[in-house]
């Protein structure tokens, strides 16, 4: 499943995409995120499955542009910790 968390508003498109088919449930992204906006939970999008997947917590989905801002400095080379921590490369950002 391609799970897209975030939004599009008048200023642009901000989505964190987690490909749960690639995710191996290791939880490293959750540990890596300095703002603690990722959590591991039993797949909320498939009630018949018991697999654990990382999700962006609900309260943060409306402001990831701001919360993730410090991980995306304009004046330095960027490497978002969540993306870097994920070995199977299951996480991408739209901005």
Partner 1 sequence: MYVAGIDMGAKFVKVVILDDGEIKGKGMAPTGFDLDEAANSAFNSALENAGIQKDDLKHITSTGAGKKEVDFRNTEVTEVGAAAKGAISLFPGSRTIIEVGAEEGRALRSDENGRVLDFVINEKCAAGAGAFTEAMARALEIPVTEMGALSLKSAKETPMNAQCAVFAESEVVSLVHSKTSKEDIARAIHDAIASRISSMVRRLSIEKDVTLIGGLAKNIGFVESLKRDLNMDINVPDDPDFVGALGAALVARKKAKEG
Partner 2 sequence: MATEDSEYWRWKEYNWKDPEMDWKDAEFITAGVDVGSVSSQAVITLDSKLFAYSNMRTGSNSPDSARNAMNWALEDTGLDLEKIQYVVGTGYGRVNVPFADRAITEIACHGRGANYMYGPTVRTVLDMGGQDCKAIRTDEKGKVTAFLMNDKCAAGTGRGMEVFADLLGIHIEKVGEESFKVEKEPPAVSSTCVVFAKSEATGLLRAGWPKNKVLAAYCSAMAHRVVTLLERLGVEKEFAITGGIAKNSGVVKRIEKELGLTALDVNLDTQIAGALGGALFAEALAKKAQKQG
Binding footprint of partner 1 on the chain (CB under 8 A): 9-11, 59, 62-63, 65-67, 69-70, 72-76
The answer to whether residue 57 forms part of the interface with partner 2 (CB under 8 A) is: no
**Which residue lies nearer to partner 1 by CB, 47 or 73?**
73
Look-up of token digits 């609900």: 58
Q: Which of ligand SF4, partner 2, partner 1, none does residue 59 bind (CB under 5 to 8 Å by kind)?
A: partner 1
59 touching partner 2, by CB under 8 A: no
Alpha carbons within 13 angstroms on the beta-carbon side of residue 24 total 7
CA pair distance 95, 49, nearest whole angstrom:
31
92 makes contact, choosing from partner 1, ligand SF4, partner 2, none, with CB < 5 to 8 Å by partner type, with none
> In this structure, are residues 78 and 70 in contact, taking their beta carbons and an 8 Å threshold?
no
Tokens coding 46: 């498939």
């Amino acid at each position: 499943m391609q799970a897209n968390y975030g939004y599009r508003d008048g200023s642009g498109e901000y989505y964190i995409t987690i490909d749960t088919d690639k995710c191996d449930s290791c939880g490293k992204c959750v540990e890596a995120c300095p703002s603690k906006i990722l959590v591991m939970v039993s797949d909320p999008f498939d009630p018949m499955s018991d697999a654990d997947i990382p999700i962006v917590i609900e309260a943060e989905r409306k402001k990831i542009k701001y919360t993730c801002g410090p991980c995306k400095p304009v004046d330095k080379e960027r490497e978002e910790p969540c993306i870097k921590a994920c070995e199977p490369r299951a996480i991408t950002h739209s901005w």
